[in-house]
Amino acid sequence: MLGRRICTSVLRSHINLFHFGNKFPNFQTKCHTPSEICYRKLSKSTIPGPNPLTSRFSSSNYHNRMGDAGRPAAVPIPDIEKADRSELLRALEASLGSSFSSEPLVPQPNPLIIVISGPSGVGKDAVIKRLREVRENLHFVVTATSRPMRPGEVDGRDYHFVSKEEFLSMVERDELLEHALVYGDYKGIPKQQIREYMARGYDIVLRVDIQGAATLRRILKDSAVFIFILAESEYTMVNRLIDRKTEAIDALLVRIVTAREEVKHAKKFDYAVVNKEGELESAVRLVESIIDAEKAKVRQRSAMI
């Protein structure tokens, strides 16, 4: 029964091929018996030639006219050893189909806000003073304070010295980016200075205490760079505080205890710079390297005040 079905199927295939061959005389069938496999042969003479209507749009013809990657056919480029530069550039532009842009490949870096902090006695002021001397395009924001002026300080250069009443009025007018009460005196950062100098393309340097740095971190988050300055040891730090001779012994003890606690906050900063005794230049160069590295980042920090 199964053999009969197979034979019937083959016979039907034979009949279909036979009729197909009648309609297309060049298509030959060769079938001997129902049990044999039928072979179809198409003579070479029946292979269709190129269609005149479609050959002009063929892939090979397109590439002959357009060149690789669909670009226009190459423009002759003069010998690089003989042609002058302007002629060579024009030929290269014509070959590429576009002119060379003189726009910078990397946009101008954003102005940075650099927050410098650290305990008392680590030489923050010395680092900032030297940085001011060797680095251009930096604006060092002058902090407002209610504390008395120390010998050698200049109003408007070291601090804006104001009374406590005037300072509190600035707070009420929302003129300060941050402010804090430090050792019984107020300190704060005026906003307007930052806005004016950032608009002119300057990087901004803020010198603040640990408490002020924590406040700025909450306000600015990752849009500013936070640098922590340290001495190489606690012994060196205490000796620097003694050499200042600006406080009575009780106030000095408070500063030492506070400095010990403040050192623990270093891990909350982006960078730590050790200002070793007698190696101020090395510390300043490291701060400069940090600024350069930040300005070379692909993903720039962007602070809005």
pLDDT at 83: 85
Contact status, residue 284 vs residue 126, Cβ threshold 8 Å: no
Cα 2 to chain centroid distance, Å, stands at 76
Percent of the chain whose pLDDT exceeds 90: 60
Which range of residues forms the domain containing residue 84? 77-103
In this predicted structure, the answer to whether residue 23 has a pLDDT above a threshold of 80 is: no
pLDDT at 194: 96
Q: Do 229 and 267 lie in a common domain?
A: yes
Domain count for the chain: 3
Residue 301 placed within a domain? no
pLDDT at 247: 82
pLDDT at 50: 52
Per-residue model confidence as pLDDT tens digits over 141-184: 999 999 999 899 999 988 999 999 999 999 999 999 999 888 78
In this predicted structure, the answer to whether residue 190 has a pLDDT above a threshold of 60 is: yes
Catalytic residues: 150, 244, 255
Per-residue model confidence as pLDDT tens digits over 48-104: 555 544 444 444 444 444 445 555 556 688 888 888 999 999 999 999 999 999 998
Those residues with Cβ within 8 angstroms of residue 61's Cβ, 6 or more apart along the chain or in another chain? 55
Residue written as tokens 């060769």?
30
Beta strand ranges found along 70-156 (DSSP E): 113-117, 138-140, 144-145
Q: The domain that contains 210 carries what CATH number?
A: 3.40.50.300
Give DSSP secondary structure letters for 188-238.
Answer: EEEHHHHHHHHHTT-EEEEE--HHHHHHHHHHHGGGSEEEEEE-S-HHHHH
Percent of the chain whose pLDDT exceeds 70: 75
Q: Do 132 and 276 lie in a common domain?
A: yes
Q: Do 138 and 240 lie in a common domain?
A: yes
Residue 274 placed within a domain? yes
Q: Do 93 and 232 lie in a common domain?
A: no
